[in-house]
Amino acid sequence: MNIPVLASKLYIPVPRTKVVFRPRLIERLNEGLERKLTLVSASAGFGKTTLVSQWAVGCDRAVAWLSLDERDNDLTRFFLHLIAAVQSIAESVGKSAFAAFESSQSPPIESILTVLLNEISALQFKIVLVLDDYHLIDSERIDDALLFLLEHLPPHMHLVIATRENPQLPLGRLRAGGHLTELRDADLRFTPDEAAAFLHQAIGLDLTAGEIAALESRTEGWIAGLQLAALSMQGREDIPGFIRAFSGDNRYIVDYLAEEVLQRQPEPVRRFLLQTSVLDRLHGPLCDAVTGQAEGNVRLSDLEKGNFFIVPLDDRRQWYRYHHLFADVLSAHLKADQPDHIGSLHRRASIWYERHGSADDAIRHALAAEDFTRAADLIEPACPTMAKLRQEAATLRWLKALPDELVRRRPVLSVWYAGALLTLGKSEGVEERLRDAESGLESTADSHERPDVRSASAEKVFVDEVEYRRLPGSTAMYRSALALMTGDVIGAMKYARLVLDLMPKDAYLKRGPASALLGLSSWTSGNLDEAYRLFADGMADVQRGGYISDAIGGTNALADIRIVQGRLRQAMSLYERGLQLAIEHGDPVMRGTADMYVGMGEIHRERNDLQTAMQLLQKSEEQGEHTGFPQYRYRWRVAMARVREAQGDLQSALDLLGEAERFYVGDLFPNVRPVAAMKTKVLIAQGKLREALEWARAHGLTARDELSYLREFEHITLARLLLARFRSDREYSFWHEAIGLLERLRQAAEEGERAGSTIEILILTALAHHMKGDTPAALGPLERALTLAEPEGCFRIFVDEGQPMEILLRAASKRGSAPKEYVRRLLTAFGRTEGKTSAKPAPNHSLREPLSERERDVLRLLGTELSGPDIARELMVSLNTLRTHTKNIYDKLGVNNRRAAVRRSEELDLF
């Protein structure tokens, strides 16, 4: 992946050669390995990082280290670095998780962590993950994700958190469960012996026992205080008097001693310390650029040797950082002594980072310098790369940090602002930003000359000339997306066509989305052939532009269109082509591939190959949610619900559809099969007409509605409900309403060339006539449905209608006008063929009410040694659903316990 990971954050800080060894604390850390979490939580300056790094170097486990900073509050950045840390000790781990971050939208982090934890579980050695400076994280999402990781930690993995304050984790529960080892201020304080060793070995001071005891008492064993005191005492004659001179809390000691330390340094060293305090990472050439000197490497080396508060960040001693506490003191002194210089120091750092290819750091320092024009100049060319890396959230943070008036004057930035909002699913503020961009363009046009971006005398309105020239097209594209998001199909099509008129042929990443938006608009309108052509053109351009994962994801839309058109074979080819595309680009589990298996499972279900359908859905689930797009969780549950429905397990189908409804995420794709309507279809099959009627009333559906493609499935479901009410009440008005609605639906579907919809409408029309006892009238629409369905191998659309459809198929077979072999295969799916029954009687033949296929599955497992929860897991259903099936089985068998059910089943040869 081309997402920047700072390697210096992954090194274990190298312990100083003269560091005080602390065996009592090392032993505590070793004992903690038997638990899940070690928490080293203490105030600044208590040696947390030094202790943990000293322990890590001598630990008998592989240690992955991550030094955190404030930028890691971005969820994606945090976990990219966490995964990179683990990869530093286990290269095979995390590749799939890394790939998940290439998605156009944020993937579910728990899915990514699940895959990561599974890969860690497969390792053959024990590992430790250290998160240093966790107090810099202020993100509820990261806290929640870390808790998920902790709760599912593999037995051979241990987590260490070093922090100034308690993390937002359930520490009480972890303590009670014996999962937590804690080291606090009291544990980390130097004992008198450790203080003596530190002052003598590390600092080189030979003090009397009394002086050491006094100093330890004054600092209360606080390591930072001892170190500052020792630095201040070097070269003094009156040590006892100096020790008596300070007292009070840590903050006072820091201020006092730091000032003492700074005042005692030569002016060049003091100036270097203050000026480089603006940097969160220190590197010789970078320090030279900031200070204007040429001795950065020497200064850093001398500071380390002199036991200043400097921490090496790599094993080559090229990158360092100041101890956070010392950095705070230096920053405060810089602000007090040289407030006018702070901006120029940040500006120099920004220039250095820009020259060395780190746009993120260059922008951060430009913003800190409040050099907003420079920051804008850096942000603008960085936006395309950030978009390709799916870092729109970071882009939005940058843009929000700029003065609003500056963004308004920069049309390219205004457009990227709008694009970042839309990508993150936010429509508020988009229109305002697009108007700003258009105003900027108009003012430029009014000047009758293009502003020269290199001219010092002209105000800059853009940096990226290519993006500036494409602004009209970019603005139109985002207007199209905004219109479609808000239901304005005509506006969406108008602006999308404008994009294609304005953009050159090679602007793939503008023309592709525009064509796709046109396709989605046509799809919403029910013009499926045009929708397919336009969306396919858009995905081809997206693929040419290098967005392979998005191109694969677009396969779902293309296949959905073909399925509605009744072209299952083409839909299957699309899914197979999507998987092949991922393999060709070296990633068979690329984002979007999980959706391919779900779609293939749907087609196998329709062809009545339920076993293959289940295998594909299980393969998709095992591959992980992170390899699916945001709608994956919804699509998977809908597909599994339809398999359960085909198995006769209507309660499981309803449960899964309820979950799907919770997971549904609205996007630009038309929602042509609402979950609520699918649930109602199952309720009708269960005979729960009152609940189904409540759905129709809640959605304002009547047989006299004006029809639209978006509500086609809802109206088909309404026709089912009307027929069910006729069958229940024998009220002919319901039948007439249903027939009239079905006729209008058929005409609309045929005009739109939606063969998939047409087949279902014809089937319902046939069943409606059959309900009235008019078989000849029923066979006409049935035979037309069979003719449309046979080339694509459709099965379940007929078989799911149950016994009335079986009767009609037998009648059609006798009449001889229907495809004979096709009808024979359909009747076989019912368990019978024309003119005879199956050789073996159906297993339900001795029961007054037959067992469903799903109930037979449960019954077979009741005859094993599996417990109830084990059976639920085996069948992938909830325990409540299993209990419902078990109760139904007992009722149908006339028994009241499991043993009796098994005995009765054996008597009836149900096994």
**How many whole angstroms separate alpha carbon 188 and alpha carbon 222?**
8
Using the 3D structure, point to which of 172, 188, 204 is the last residue of a domain: 188
Q: Do residues 81 and 8 lie in contact, with contact meaning Cβ atoms separated by under 8 Å?
A: no
Asked if residue 61 and residue 126 are part of one domain, the reply reads yes
Angle at 661 between CA 655 and CA 666, to 5 degrees: 160
Q: Do residues 518 and 538 lie in contact, with contact meaning Cβ atoms separated by under 8 Å?
A: yes
Residue 639 lies in a domain: no
Q: Which helix (H) or strand (E) holds 599?
A: helix 593-606
Give me the residues of the chain with pLDDT under 50, please. Answer: 1-2, 104, 248, 250, 448-458, 832-845
Whether the model clears a pTM of 0.75, i.e. scores above it, the answer is: no
b/e burial code for range 823-852 (CB count within 10 A of at least 16 → b): beebbeebeebeeeeeeeeebbeeeeeebb
Q: What are phi and psi of 322, to 5 degrees?
A: -80, 150
Q: Do residues 123 and 614 lie in contact, with contact meaning Cβ atoms separated by under 8 Å?
A: no
Which CATH number characterizes residue 892's domain? 1.10.10.10
Q: Which helix (H) or strand (E) holds 305?
A: helix 296-305
**How many whole angstroms separate alpha carbon 71 and alpha carbon 548?**
29
Residue 495 lies in a domain: no
Secondary structure (DSSP) of 226-288: HHHHHHHHTT-S-HHHHHHH--S-HHHHHHHHHHHHHHTS-HHHHHHHHHGGG-SSEEHHHHH
Supply the pLDDT for residue 220: 66
Supply the pLDDT for residue 257: 58
| Structure-token pair, residue 2 | 């081309």
**How many whole angstroms separate alpha carbon 533 and alpha carbon 547?**
19
| Structure-token pair, residue 840 | 């073996």
Supply the pLDDT for residue 463: 73
104 CB-near residues (< 8 Å, 6+ apart):
390, 423, 547, 549, 550, 553, 629
Residue 360 CA, chain-centre distance (Å), reads 22
Helix, strand, coil shares of the chain as percentages rounded to 5?
A: 65, 5, 30
| Structure-token pair, residue 110 | 């728990």
Instruction: Give the pLDDT confidence of 558-572 residue by residue, as tens digits.
Output: 999 999 999 999 999
Residue 173 lies in a domain: yes
Asked if residue 272 and residue 146 are part of one domain, the reply reads no
Using the 3D structure, point to which of 153, 188, 223 is the last residue of a domain: 188
Asked if residue 346 and residue 250 are part of one domain, the reply reads no
Q: Do residues 350 and 369 lie in contact, with contact meaning Cβ atoms separated by under 8 Å?
A: yes
Supply the pLDDT for residue 253: 62
Residue 668 lies in a domain: no
Please, how many CA atoms are within 13 Å of residue 485, restricted to the half-sphere of its CB? 18
Residue 547 lies in a domain: no
Q: Is 848 helix (H, G, I), strand (E, B) or coil?
A: coil
> Residue 171 CB: number of other CB atoms within 10 A?
16
**How many whole angstroms separate alpha carbon 527 and alpha carbon 508?**
24
Asked if residue 348 and residue 364 are part of one domain, the reply reads yes
Residue 126 lies in a domain: yes
Burial of 698 from C-beta contacts in 10 A (0-12 / 13-18 / 19+) = exposed
**How many whole angstroms separate alpha carbon 190 and alpha carbon 186?**
9
Asked if residue 179 and residue 33 are part of one domain, the reply reads yes
| Residue 334: closest CA among 325, 324, 345, 323 | 345
Number of domains in the chain: 4
Asked if residue 315 and residue 295 are part of one domain, the reply reads yes
Print the domain residue range for 229: 192-264
Residue 546 lies in a domain: no
Supply the pLDDT for residue 848: 53
Asked if residue 308 and residue 224 are part of one domain, the reply reads no
731 CB-near residues (< 8 Å, 6+ apart):
725
Asked if residue 286 and residue 180 are part of one domain, the reply reads no
Using the 3D structure, point to which of 264, 287, 307 is the last residue of a domain: 264
> Residue 586 CB: number of other CB atoms within 10 A?
8
Secondary structure (DSSP) of 198-242: IIIIII-----HHHHHHHHHHHTT-HHHHHHHHHHHTT-S-HHHH
| Structure-token pair, residue 803 | 């016994």
Beta strands in 813-869 (DSSP E): 832-833, 836-837
79 CB-near residues (< 8 Å, 6+ apart):
97, 101, 109, 112, 113, 145
Asked if residue 177 and residue 197 are part of one domain, the reply reads no
**How many whole angstroms separate alpha carbon 419 and alpha carbon 556?**
23
Asked if residue 260 and residue 173 are part of one domain, the reply reads no
Strand 180-183 with 37-41, pairing: parallel
b/e burial code for range 392-406 (CB count within 10 A of at least 16 → b): bbbbbebbebbeeee
| Residue 326: closest CA among 237, 257, 272 | 257
Secondary structure (DSSP) of 360-401: HHHHHHHHHTT-HHHHHHHHHHHHHHHHHTT-HHHHHHHHHH
Residue 129 lies in a domain: yes
Supply the pLDDT for residue 456: 38
Rg of the chain over CA atoms, in angstroms? 35
**How many whole angstroms separate alpha carbon 267 and alpha carbon 273?**
10
Supply the pLDDT for residue 332: 86
DSSP letter at 447 equals T
Q: Do residues 122 and 115 lie in contact, with contact meaning Cβ atoms separated by under 8 Å?
A: no
Asked if residue 207 and residue 181 are part of one domain, the reply reads no
Which CATH number characterizes residue 24's domain? 3.40.50.300
| Structure-token pair, residue 606 | 């329709």
b/e burial code for range 440-451 (CB count within 10 A of at least 16 → b): bbeebeeeeeeb
| Residue 524: closest CA among 496, 502, 553, 550 | 496
| Structure-token pair, residue 474 | 């970019």
Supply the pLDDT for residue 307: 58
Q: Is 110 helix (H, G, I), strand (E, B) or coil?
A: helix
Instruction: Give the pLDDT confidence of 431-469 residue by residue, as tens digits.
Output: 999 999 888 777 665 554 444 444 333 466 777 787 888
Q: Do residues 677 and 659 lie in contact, with contact meaning Cβ atoms separated by under 8 Å?
A: no
**How many whole angstroms separate alpha carbon 709 and alpha carbon 428?**
28
**How many whole angstroms separate alpha carbon 204 and alpha carbon 718?**
88
**How many whole angstroms separate alpha carbon 19 and alpha carbon 26?**
13
Asked if residue 96 and residue 37 are part of one domain, the reply reads yes
Tokens 């709608």, residue located: 631
The length of the chain is: 911
| Residue 608: closest CA among 762, 779, 792 | 792
Q: Do residues 247 and 229 lie in contact, with contact meaning Cβ atoms separated by under 8 Å?
A: no
> Residue 479 CB: number of other CB atoms within 10 A?
23
